[in-house]
Protein backbone atom coordinates (compact mmCIF):
# COMPACT_ATOMS: atom_id res chain seq x y z
CA UNK A 1 0.00 0.00 0.00
CA UNK A 2 1.25 3.48 -0.86
CA UNK A 3 2.13 5.66 2.13
CA UNK A 4 1.45 9.17 0.87
CA UNK A 5 2.57 10.70 4.17
CA UNK A 6 6.08 9.31 3.73
CA UNK A 7 8.58 12.05 2.92
CA UNK A 8 10.40 9.95 0.32
CA UNK A 9 7.14 9.10 -1.41
CA UNK A 10 6.17 12.76 -1.56
CA UNK A 11 9.56 13.62 -2.99
CA UNK A 12 9.22 10.96 -5.68
CA UNK A 13 5.79 12.26 -6.65
CA UNK A 14 7.04 15.84 -6.86
CA UNK A 15 9.98 14.75 -8.99
CA UNK A 16 7.62 12.94 -11.35
CA UNK A 17 5.44 16.04 -11.56
CA UNK A 18 8.37 18.47 -11.65
CA UNK A 19 6.41 20.50 -9.13
CA UNK A 20 6.92 21.03 -5.39
CA UNK A 21 3.78 21.47 -3.32
CA UNK A 22 3.62 24.20 -0.71
CA UNK A 23 0.68 22.42 0.90
CA UNK A 24 1.51 18.72 1.18
CA UNK A 25 -2.06 17.95 2.20
CA UNK A 26 -3.13 18.85 -1.35
CA UNK A 27 -0.60 16.36 -2.71
CA UNK A 28 -1.99 13.65 -0.45
CA UNK A 29 -5.60 14.42 -1.34
CA UNK A 30 -4.77 14.50 -5.05
CA UNK A 31 -3.51 10.93 -4.91
CA UNK A 32 -6.25 9.55 -2.64
CA UNK A 33 -8.93 7.58 -4.48
CA UNK A 34 -12.44 7.53 -3.06
CA UNK A 35 -12.10 3.79 -2.34
CA UNK A 36 -9.34 4.57 0.17
CA UNK A 37 -10.80 7.71 1.74
CA UNK A 38 -12.79 7.84 4.98
CA UNK A 39 -15.40 9.84 3.09
CA UNK A 40 -15.66 11.12 -0.46
CA UNK A 41 -14.90 14.69 0.58
CA UNK A 42 -11.48 13.45 1.68
CA UNK A 43 -10.78 11.90 -1.74
CA UNK A 44 -9.49 13.50 -4.94
CA UNK A 45 -12.94 13.74 -6.56
CA UNK A 46 -13.42 17.47 -6.01
CA UNK A 47 -9.89 18.18 -7.27
CA UNK A 48 -10.65 16.02 -10.31
CA UNK A 49 -13.71 18.16 -11.05
CA UNK A 50 -11.65 21.35 -10.83
CA UNK A 51 -8.70 19.94 -12.76
CA UNK A 52 -10.93 18.88 -15.61
CA UNK A 53 -12.06 22.49 -16.08
CA UNK A 54 -8.52 23.90 -15.82
CA UNK A 55 -7.23 21.34 -18.31
CA UNK A 56 -9.94 22.20 -20.80
CA UNK A 57 -9.24 25.93 -20.53
CA UNK A 58 -5.48 25.58 -20.95
CA UNK A 59 -5.76 23.22 -23.92
CA UNK A 60 -8.32 25.51 -25.61
CA UNK A 61 -6.02 28.49 -25.07
CA UNK A 62 -3.02 26.65 -26.53
CA UNK A 63 -4.97 25.43 -29.56
CA UNK A 64 -6.53 28.86 -30.17
CA UNK A 65 -3.12 30.56 -30.02
CA UNK A 66 -1.03 27.98 -31.88
CA UNK A 67 -3.44 27.09 -34.68
CA UNK A 68 -4.67 30.46 -35.82
CA UNK A 69 -6.09 29.21 -39.12
CA UNK A 70 -8.08 26.25 -37.80
CA UNK A 71 -11.85 26.54 -37.79
CA UNK A 72 -14.03 25.93 -34.74
CA UNK A 73 -14.82 22.37 -35.80
CA UNK A 74 -11.14 21.47 -36.18
CA UNK A 75 -10.29 23.02 -32.81
CA UNK A 76 -13.16 21.19 -31.13
CA UNK A 77 -12.00 17.83 -32.51
CA UNK A 78 -8.44 18.45 -31.38
CA UNK A 79 -9.53 19.55 -27.91
CA UNK A 80 -11.79 16.51 -27.50
CA UNK A 81 -8.94 14.19 -28.46
CA UNK A 82 -6.41 15.85 -26.14
CA UNK A 83 -8.59 15.94 -23.03
CA UNK A 84 -10.12 12.51 -23.58
CA UNK A 85 -9.94 9.82 -20.90
CA UNK A 86 -7.66 7.77 -23.10
CA UNK A 87 -5.15 10.58 -23.60
CA UNK A 88 -5.13 11.61 -19.94
CA UNK A 89 -4.62 7.98 -18.91
CA UNK A 90 -1.75 7.73 -21.39
CA UNK A 91 -0.03 10.74 -19.83
CA UNK A 92 -0.59 9.37 -16.33
CA UNK A 93 1.10 6.12 -17.36
CA UNK A 94 3.98 7.91 -19.09
CA UNK A 95 4.70 9.85 -15.90
CA UNK A 96 4.26 6.76 -13.71
CA UNK A 97 1.72 8.52 -11.49
CA UNK A 98 -0.58 5.51 -11.14
CA UNK A 99 2.03 3.81 -8.95
CA UNK A 100 1.41 6.42 -6.24
CA UNK A 101 -2.38 6.33 -6.23
CA UNK A 102 -3.80 5.24 -2.87
CA UNK A 103 -6.74 2.91 -3.46
CA UNK A 104 -8.86 0.76 -1.17
CA UNK A 105 -8.32 -2.90 -0.41
CA UNK A 106 -11.11 -3.88 -2.77
CA UNK A 107 -9.10 -2.67 -5.76
CA UNK A 108 -6.34 -5.10 -6.62
CA UNK A 109 -2.92 -3.55 -7.15
CA UNK A 110 -1.86 -6.56 -9.18
CA UNK A 111 -4.09 -5.53 -12.08
CA UNK A 112 -3.92 -2.40 -14.22
CA UNK A 113 -6.15 0.42 -13.11
CA UNK A 114 -9.09 1.36 -15.34
CA UNK A 115 -8.29 4.20 -17.71
CA UNK A 116 -11.04 6.29 -16.15
CA UNK A 117 -9.26 6.21 -12.79
CA UNK A 118 -5.87 6.98 -14.32
CA UNK A 119 -7.37 9.87 -16.26
CA UNK A 120 -9.12 11.13 -13.13
CA UNK A 121 -5.80 11.05 -11.29
CA UNK A 122 -4.21 13.40 -13.82
CA UNK A 123 -7.15 15.78 -13.54
CA UNK A 124 -6.96 15.67 -9.74
CA UNK A 125 -3.23 16.45 -9.88
CA UNK A 126 -3.94 19.43 -12.13
CA UNK A 127 -6.61 20.61 -9.69
CA UNK A 128 -4.21 20.23 -6.77
CA UNK A 129 -1.46 22.20 -8.51
CA UNK A 130 -3.98 24.90 -9.44
CA UNK A 131 -5.14 25.30 -5.82
CA UNK A 132 -1.59 25.11 -4.47
CA UNK A 133 0.26 27.33 -6.94
CA UNK A 134 -2.30 29.16 -9.04
CA UNK A 135 -3.27 29.13 -12.70
CA UNK A 136 0.21 29.79 -14.13
CA UNK A 137 1.74 26.80 -12.35
CA UNK A 138 -1.07 24.56 -13.56
CA UNK A 139 -0.69 25.96 -17.07
CA UNK A 140 3.04 25.15 -17.12
CA UNK A 141 2.40 21.62 -15.88
CA UNK A 142 -0.27 20.98 -18.53
CA UNK A 143 1.67 22.43 -21.47
CA UNK A 144 4.76 20.45 -20.47
CA UNK A 145 2.78 17.24 -20.02
CA UNK A 146 0.98 17.61 -23.35
CA UNK A 147 3.89 19.09 -25.34
CA UNK A 148 4.65 15.95 -27.38
CA UNK A 149 1.01 15.53 -28.36
CA UNK A 150 0.70 19.20 -29.29
CA UNK A 151 3.86 19.00 -31.40
CA UNK A 152 2.46 15.92 -33.13
CA UNK A 153 -0.68 17.87 -34.04
CA UNK A 154 1.48 20.63 -35.50
CA UNK A 155 3.00 18.10 -37.90
CA UNK A 156 -0.04 16.05 -38.80
CA UNK A 157 -2.71 18.72 -39.00
CA UNK A 158 -6.24 18.42 -37.60
CA UNK A 159 -7.41 14.87 -38.32
CA UNK A 160 -5.94 14.88 -41.83
CA UNK A 161 -7.24 18.36 -42.75
CA UNK A 162 -4.42 19.07 -45.16
CA UNK A 163 -6.00 22.30 -46.40
CA UNK A 164 -5.90 23.80 -42.91
CA UNK A 165 -2.32 22.68 -42.39
CA UNK A 166 -1.22 24.06 -45.77
CA UNK A 167 -2.98 27.36 -45.12
CA UNK A 168 -1.23 27.72 -41.79
CA UNK A 169 2.14 26.85 -43.31
CA UNK A 170 1.66 29.24 -46.26
CA UNK A 171 0.68 32.15 -44.04
CA UNK A 172 3.52 31.57 -41.60
CA UNK A 173 6.25 31.12 -44.26
CA UNK A 174 5.04 33.14 -47.25
CA UNK A 175 2.39 35.49 -45.92
CA UNK A 176 -0.12 34.29 -48.52
CA UNK A 177 -3.14 32.01 -48.77
CA UNK A 178 -3.04 29.00 -51.14
CA UNK A 179 -5.22 29.17 -54.26
CA UNK A 180 -7.09 26.07 -55.46
CA UNK A 181 -7.64 25.79 -59.21
CA UNK A 182 -10.19 23.43 -60.76
CA UNK A 183 -8.41 21.94 -63.79
CA UNK A 184 -10.86 19.36 -65.05
CA UNK A 185 -14.00 17.37 -64.30
CA UNK A 186 -15.22 14.14 -65.81
CA UNK A 187 -18.24 11.89 -65.76
CA UNK A 188 -22.02 12.40 -65.72
CA UNK A 189 -23.65 14.78 -63.27
CA UNK A 190 -24.54 12.00 -60.84
CA UNK A 191 -21.02 10.54 -60.83
CA UNK A 192 -18.48 13.28 -61.44
CA UNK A 193 -14.85 13.46 -60.41
CA UNK A 194 -12.74 16.58 -60.21
CA UNK A 195 -9.08 17.53 -60.68
CA UNK A 196 -7.60 20.37 -58.63
CA UNK A 197 -4.17 21.86 -58.10
CA UNK A 198 -2.70 24.21 -55.53
CA UNK A 199 -0.99 27.45 -56.49
CA UNK A 200 1.27 28.89 -53.80
CA UNK A 201 2.67 32.24 -54.85
CA UNK A 202 3.88 31.50 -58.40
CA UNK A 203 4.37 27.76 -57.94
CA UNK A 204 1.92 25.06 -59.04
CA UNK A 205 1.96 21.78 -57.17
CA UNK A 206 0.95 18.32 -58.35
CA UNK A 207 -2.77 18.10 -59.05
CA UNK A 208 -5.10 15.48 -57.60
CA UNK A 209 -8.48 13.91 -58.38
CA UNK A 210 -11.42 13.46 -56.05
CA UNK A 211 -15.07 12.47 -56.21
CA UNK A 212 -15.93 15.94 -54.88
CA UNK A 213 -14.19 19.28 -55.26
CA UNK A 214 -13.51 19.30 -51.54
CA UNK A 215 -11.80 15.91 -51.67
CA UNK A 216 -9.75 16.94 -54.71
CA UNK A 217 -8.60 20.08 -52.90
CA UNK A 218 -7.64 18.08 -49.80
CA UNK A 219 -5.61 15.68 -51.93
CA UNK A 220 -3.98 18.54 -53.81
CA UNK A 221 -3.09 20.19 -50.50
CA UNK A 222 -1.58 16.90 -49.37
CA UNK A 223 0.59 16.79 -52.53
CA UNK A 224 1.76 20.34 -51.90
CA UNK A 225 2.64 19.57 -48.28
CA UNK A 226 4.68 16.56 -49.36
CA UNK A 227 6.50 18.58 -52.03
CA UNK A 228 7.22 21.34 -49.51
CA UNK A 229 8.64 18.71 -47.08
CA UNK A 230 6.09 19.67 -44.44
CA UNK A 231 4.85 16.07 -44.11
CA UNK A 232 6.10 12.70 -45.26
CA UNK A 233 4.41 10.90 -48.12
CA UNK A 234 2.07 8.13 -47.00
CA UNK A 235 2.54 4.95 -49.07
CA UNK A 236 -1.19 4.19 -48.82
CA UNK A 237 -2.34 7.65 -49.88
CA UNK A 238 -3.58 7.67 -53.45
CA UNK A 239 -3.49 10.94 -55.33
Question: Which among 48, 74, 123, 195 is annotated as catalytic?
Answer: 123
Written in H, E and C, the secondary structure of the chain is: CCCCCCHHHHHHHHHHHCCCCCCHHHHHHHCECCCCCCCHHHCCHHHHHHHHHHHHHHHHHHHHHHCCCCCHHHHHHHHHHHCCHHHHHHHHHHHCHHHHCECCCCCCCCCCCCHHHHHHHHHHHHHHHHHHHCHHHHHHHHHHHCHHHHHHHHHHCHHHCHHHHHHHHHHHHCCCCCEEEEEEEECCHHHCEEEEEEEECCEECCCEEECCHHHHHHHHHHHHHHHCCCCCCCCCCCC
What confidence score (pLDDT) does residue 157 get?
56
* Domain CATH number, residue 197: 3.30.160.20
Same domain, 88 and 191: no
39 pLDDT tier (thresholds 50, 70, 90):
confident
Does residue 233 form part of some domain?
A: no
238 pLDDT tier (thresholds 50, 70, 90):
very low
Same domain, 117 and 57: yes
Does residue 99 form part of some domain?
A: yes
Same domain, 49 and 74: yes
Question: Domain ends where: 103, 129, 156?
Answer: 156
Same domain, 38 and 126: yes
Same domain, 104 and 212: no
Question: Domain ends where: 112, 128, 156?
Answer: 156
Same domain, 152 and 169: no
Same domain, 33 and 144: yes
State how far the Cα of 162 lies from the Cα of 221, in Å rounded to an integer.
6
Domain count, the chain: 2
Does residue 188 form part of some domain?
A: yes
**Count of beta carbons in the 10 Å neighbourhood of residue 93:** 16
Same domain, 39 and 132: yes
Same domain, 152 and 179: no
Question: Which among 45, 48, 52, 118 is annotated as catalytic?
Answer: 52
Question: Domain ends where: 106, 124, 156?
Answer: 156
Q: Which domain holds residue 63?
A: 7-156
Averaged pLDDT score across all residues of the chain: 88
Q: Are 18 and 118 in contact (CB under 8 A)?
A: no
User: CA angle, 113 as apex, 109 and 117 as ends, to 5°?
Assistant: 125
Does residue 87 form part of some domain?
A: yes
Same domain, 149 and 169: no
Same domain, 118 and 166: no
Does pLDDT of 89 surpass 90?
Answer: yes
Does residue 238 form part of some domain?
A: no
Does residue 189 form part of some domain?
A: yes
Contacts of 97 by beta carbon, 8 Å cutoff, 6+ apart: 13, 16, 17, 31, 118, 121, 122, 125
Does pLDDT of 158 surpass 70?
Answer: no
Q: What would the mean pLDDT of 216-230 be, rounded to a whole number?
A: 90
Beta pairing partners, 197? 181
Which of 35-49, 59-73, 84-98 is least confident? Answer: 59-73
Does pLDDT of 155 surpass 70?
Answer: no
* Domain CATH number, residue 101: 1.10.1520.10
Does pLDDT of 172 surpass 90?
Answer: no
Does residue 52 form part of some domain?
A: yes
Q: Is 52 an annotated catalytic residue?
A: yes
Same domain, 75 and 190: no
What's the predicted TM-score (pTM) here? Answer: 0.68
Does residue 239 form part of some domain?
A: no
Q: Are 123 and 51 in contact (CB under 8 A)?
A: yes
Amino acid sequence: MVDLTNTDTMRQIEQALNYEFQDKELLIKGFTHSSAADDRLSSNERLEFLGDAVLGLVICDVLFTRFGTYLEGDLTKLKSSLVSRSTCAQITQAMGLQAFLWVGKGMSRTRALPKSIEAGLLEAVIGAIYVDGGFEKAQVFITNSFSDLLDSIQVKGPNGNYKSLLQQYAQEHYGVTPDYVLLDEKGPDHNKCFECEVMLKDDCHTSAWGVTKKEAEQRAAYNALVELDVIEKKPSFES
